[in-house]
């Protein structure tokens, strides 16, 4: 098969591992920078032009779309779908997962646990909004933030009001979430492929830091999920319509609480922590669906 990886950087660990795993299984692997594609749209003839040449003969696509180019990246994935080519992450699911507020609403409707979250439309009554969160401290998150960026810990309600007021003044979309003390600065990342958890790790924030992201200096170790945690991860990926997903959650006294469902989860952290060949699992998933 000819499998195209949509990636803006062929040197990234995840991209290189997918190429390696695909070639080991005798597939023709190609990296296409989706930001450089040109889409030609006409009646029943969707065409993708890359580096001056029409892309043809593609059997499957594995999207690795960065958050900053979601709009155009999803359009490229959609163009492949219009050609009846299998995409490991569907365009609609990609867009859904990148809208954090919509994601939380969908997960809530599905009955999945999550930290109490509050969102408003640039309200001036910040005191009333902050009062809806019972915990202290309070987490504030930019809706567009990734890899722990745009996440703030407000130690007091007054501090949370000040931060919220500042964000509102900048017309930056932000949600407030309760702080889960028993998580102790750690979260879980479950890697779901084709409806199964193929690897899981526990990420621990470094000392003096509350964000457990590996990009923020956190550490990761292998963990065996409980049945409840595994079921929650699988259900969250299914609700978002994702065949490949990184499901982030917290351990709490009331069960697993979903933080986010990532449609382009990195492979480096999970493979190093678990020792598992996750890239191979993704290639096999593509094979099953061709």
Q: Which residue has the higher pLDDT, 209 or 176?
A: 176
148 pLDDT band, cuts 50/70/90, is: low
* Fold category of 97-112+183-288 in CATH: D-amino Acid Aminotransferase; Chain A, domain 1 (3.30.470)
Least confident span in 21-35, 82-96, 181-195: 181-195
- Per residue in 24-72, pLDDT tens? 999 999 999 999 999 999 988 999 999 999 999 999 999 999 988 999 9
The helix-helix angle for 227-239 and 100-109 (nearest 10°) equals 120
Res 186 pLDDT > 70: yes
Least confident span in 25-29, 104-108, 170-174, 195-199: 170-174
Nearest to 204 by CA among 179, 232, 183: 183
Which residues make up the CATH 3.30.1490.20 domain(s) of the chain? 117-179
* Architecture of the domain made up of 117-179: 2-Layer Sandwich (3.30)
Res 209 pLDDT > 80: no
Res 116 pLDDT > 60: yes
Query: What pLDDT is stored for residue 149 in this prediction?
Result: 67
Pairing assessment for the beta strands 138-142 and 174-178 based on DSSP bridges: antiparallel
Query: What pLDDT is stored for residue 242 in this prediction?
Result: 97
Query: What pLDDT is stored for residue 277 in this prediction?
Result: 97
DSSP 183: G
Query: What pLDDT is stored for residue 210 in this prediction?
Result: 53
DSSP 270: H
Mean pLDDT in residue range 234-256? 96
Instruction: Based on DSSP, count helices (H) and strands (E) in the chain, helices before strands.
Output: 9, 16
Against a cut of 0.85, is the pTM above it? Answer: yes
Mean pLDDT in residue range 208-231? 75
195: phi > 0 → left, psi -120 to 50 → alpha, else beta; which? left
Res 4 pLDDT > 70: yes
Q: Which residue has the higher pLDDT, 58 or 214?
A: 58
Class of domain 2-89: alpha beta
Rg (C-alpha) for the chain, rounded Å, is 20
Q: What is the percent of the chain with per-residue pLDDT over 70, rounded to a whole number?
A: 94
Which residues make up the CATH 3.40.50.20 domain(s) of the chain? 2-89
Query: What pLDDT is stored for residue 184 in this prediction?
Result: 83
Query: What pLDDT is stored for residue 213 in this prediction?
Result: 55
183 pLDDT band, cuts 50/70/90, is: confident
């Amino acid at each position: 098969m000819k499998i195209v990886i949509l990636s803006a950087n062929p040197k990234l660990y995840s991209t290189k591992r997918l190429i390696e795993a695909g070639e080991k299984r005798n597939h023709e692997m190609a990296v296409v920078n989706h930001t450089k594609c040109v889409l030609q749209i006409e009646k029943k003839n969707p065409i993708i032009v890359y580096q001056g040449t029409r892309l043809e003969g593609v059997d499957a696509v594995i999207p690795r779309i960065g958050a900053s180019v979601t709009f155009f990246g999803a359009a490229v994935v959609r163009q492949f779908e219009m050609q009846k080519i299998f995409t490991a992450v569907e365009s609609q699911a990609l867009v859904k997962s990148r809208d954090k507020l919509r994601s939380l609403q969908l997960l809530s409707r599905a009955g999945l646990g999550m930290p109490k979250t509050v969102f408003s439309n640039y309200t001036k009554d910040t005191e009333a909004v902050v009062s809806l969160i019972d915990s202290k401290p309070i987490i504030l998150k930019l809706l567009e933030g990734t890899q722990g960026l745009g996440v703030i810990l407000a130690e007091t309600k007054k501090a949370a009001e000040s931060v919220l007021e500042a964000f509102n003044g900048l017309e930056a979309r932000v949600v407030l979430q309760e702080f889960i003390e028993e998580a102790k600065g750690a979260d879980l990342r479950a890697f779901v492929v084709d409806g199964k958890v193929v690897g899981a790790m526990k990420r621990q924030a470094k000392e003096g830091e509350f964000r457990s992201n590996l990009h923020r200096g956190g550490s990761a170790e292998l963990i065996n999920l409980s049945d409840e945690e595994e079921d929650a991860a699988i259900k969250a990926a299914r609700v978002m319509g994702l065949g490949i997903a990184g499901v982030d959650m917290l351990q709490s006294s009331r069960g697993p609480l979903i933080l986010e469902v990532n449609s382009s989860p990195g492979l480096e952290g999970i493979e190093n922590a678990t020792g598992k060949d996750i890239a191979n699992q993704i290639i096999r998933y593509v094979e099953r669906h061709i």
